[in-house]
């Protein structure tokens, strides 16, 4: 069975510091995709970054990068130079890329709070 584990329910980080949000996953699929979403207090889920299981390079999107370690089955999100607006819930998620219906499994989330 597929599973996503986020072991940090909450984190506090000083503004401008880098932060790493942990994510480990379990799957028997050979091909899969990994996602990170951000959920501000307003409630909407915002897609941040995607990593395919066969991508050799770690994905990057602006200040976001995904530290993908396939052998360890980890997909940590790194946010560089954190900002107050980064305060939100962050969800790691996984999908089998062969699925046409693209079912995504989510972790329980990490609440990130940025201190000024």
Partner 1 sequence: DVKVTQSSRYLVKRTGEKVFLECVQDMDHENMFWYRQDPGLGLRLIYFSYDVKMKEKGDIPEGYSVSREKKERFSLILESASTNQTSMYLCASNTGQGTYEQYFGPGTRLTVT
Residue numbers at the binding site for partner 1 (CB under 8 A): 4, 9, 33, 35, 37, 42-47, 50, 52, 91, 95, 97, 99-109
Q: Do 104 and 50 contact (CB within 8 A), yes or no?
A: no
Closest CB 16 distance from partner 1, rounded Å: 28
Report, in Å, the least distance between residue 26 CB and partner 1: 15
Report the residue number, 55 or 67, with the smaller CB distance to partner 1: 55
DSSP β-ladder status, 46-52 and 110-115? unpaired
Give CA–CA dist 79/59, Å, rounded: 12
Strand 110-115, strand 10-14: pairing: parallel
Q: Closest approach of Cβ 106 to partner 1, in Å?
A: 4
Kindly tell me which of 78 and 97 has the beta carbon lying closer to partner 1.
Answer: 97
Rounded to 5 degrees, φ, ψ at 69 are -125, 95
Shortest CB 86 distance to partner 1, Å: 19
Closer CB to partner 1, 37 or 86, in the complex: 37
CA distances from 19 to 7, 76, 86 (A): 15, 10, 10
Token couple for 110: 């990490």
Comparison of 100 and 116: residue with beta carbon closer to partner 1: 100
């Amino acid at each position: 069975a597929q599973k996503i584990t986020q072991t940090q329910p909450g984190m506090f980080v000083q503004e401008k510091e880098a932060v790493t949000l942990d994510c480990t996953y379990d799957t028997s699929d050979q091909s899969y995709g990994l996602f990170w979403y951000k959920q501000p207090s307003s409630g909407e889920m915002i897609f941040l970054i995607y990593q395919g299981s066969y991508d050799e390079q770690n994905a990057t999107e602006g200040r976001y990068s995904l530290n993908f370690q396939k052998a360890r089955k980890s997909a940590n999100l790194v946010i560089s130079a954190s900002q107050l607006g980064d305060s939100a819930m962050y969800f790691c998620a996984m999908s089998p890329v062969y699925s046409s219906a693209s079912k995504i499994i989510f972790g329980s989330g990490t609440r990130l709070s940025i201190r000024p």
